Amino acid sequence: MNDESGIFLSAVGMIFSLDAALWEIVGLSLYISLMALFLASLLGLPLGSLLAVTRFRGHFFLSILLNAFMGLPPVVAGLFVYMLLSRSGPLGLLGLLYTPSAMIIAQTILIFPIIAALSRQHIENMNREFDHQFSSWGLGLTSRIKTLLWECRLSLLTVLLAGFGRAIAEVGAVMIVGGNIEHMTRTMTTAIQMEISKGNLELAMALGLTLLFLALSVNFMAYSLKAYANRQMGGAL
């Protein structure tokens, strides 16, 4: 048996033996990314909806800004949050640097533009289709947004999955603001980076395989949801 296949088999063994160190890291990664997804959705979906159904001063600039920030480099987001939360920063008193909270903030900043910009696109398309009908029914702004969010629910779920995918696979920002502290801020991506540098390839491989499995699961869910939506819409999507 050569080295590579030995590492691979050990990694698989670690996953199935429910290695405590491995699953602690996986659990923390999921917690941070899901919390970031929740917060980014809370902010991004209403903003995306507003941009989709209203026009106001600065609308064009805000739309461009959101689109541009979809490609925000994680290290830049990390640096921004670091400066904000560092002891001399404006929010330094909160003592959040090198805690999971700081990592959640950084990931929220990273995926918020993705959720806002992509949801705006979906909702805008739907609103264009329903505009006259909704006006005819006398829908106000709030009812219109609520109805559009519900009508776009399946497309928006794929947007949320895209946001989650970005968060869970991100390494730069969480490394800067989390510090990769064992039992506290160590996530899958930061751990992989560290274990490779230490030469502990079994654990790095086990984490990599788990991350790959999560990424595949996210894509599988997105694909299944689209197929389900297509069936629901009678093949209209």
Partner 1 sequence: MILPLKLENVCYQHQNSRHDDRMEALKNINISFEAGIKTVILGPNGAGKSILLKLCHGLLEPTEGHLYWNNLSPEEIRKNQAMVFTKPCLLNRSVWENLDYVLKLQKISREERDKKTTDILNRFGLSALKERAALQLSTGEQQRLSFALALSFGPTILFLDEPTANLDPRATATIEHLVLQAHDQGTTIVMTTHDLLQARRIADRIIFIDEGRIIEEGNATSFFAAPKSPEARDFLCGRLSE
Q: How is residue 147 written in tokens?
A: 């109805």
Whose Cβ is closer to partner 1: residue 76's or residue 226's? Answer: 226
Judged by CB under 8 A, the residue of 18, 57, 61, 138 near partner 1 is 138
CB of 10 to partner 1, least distance (A): 49
185 near 174, Cβ under 8 Å?
Answer: yes
Whose Cβ is closer to partner 1: residue 123's or residue 171's? Answer: 123
Q: Work out the number of other CB atoms within 10 angstroms of the CB of residue 37.
A: 25
Whose Cβ is closer to partner 1: residue 63's or residue 107's? Answer: 63
Positions 139 through 158 that interact with partner 1 (CB under 8 A): 139, 143, 147, 151
CB of 153 to partner 1, least distance (A): 8
Judged by CB under 8 A, the residue of 17, 54, 217, 232 near partner 1 is 232
Report in angstroms the alpha-carbon separations of 187 from 35, 173, 236.
Answer: 14, 12, 41
Whose Cβ is closer to partner 1: residue 1's or residue 236's? Answer: 236
Interface stretch with partner 1, choices 32-40, 109-117, 136-144, 195-203 (CB under 8 A)? 136-144
Judged by CB under 8 A, the residue of 2, 5, 133, 197 near partner 1 is 133
- CA pair distance 156, 90, nearest whole angstrom: 34
What burial class does residue 154 get, using C-beta atoms within 10 Å of its C-beta: 0-12 exposed, 13-18 middle, 19+ buried? middle
What burial class does residue 51 get, using C-beta atoms within 10 Å of its C-beta: 0-12 exposed, 13-18 middle, 19+ buried? buried
End-to-end CA distance of the chain: 50
- Contact characters 45-84, partner 1, x per CB under 8 A: ----------------------------------------
- CA pair distance 162, 44, nearest whole angstrom: 13
Residue closest to 112 by CA, chosen among 58, 62, 41, 51: 41
Interface stretch with partner 1, choices 65-73, 175-183, 188-196, 226-234 (CB under 8 A)? 226-234
Judged by CB under 8 A, the residue of 129, 182, 216, 227 near partner 1 is 129
The reply on whether position 233 binds partner 1 by CB under 8 A is yes
Coil, strand, or helix at residue 160?
Answer: helix
Contact residues: partner 1, CB under 8 A: 129-130, 132-133, 135-139, 143, 147, 151, 232-234, 236
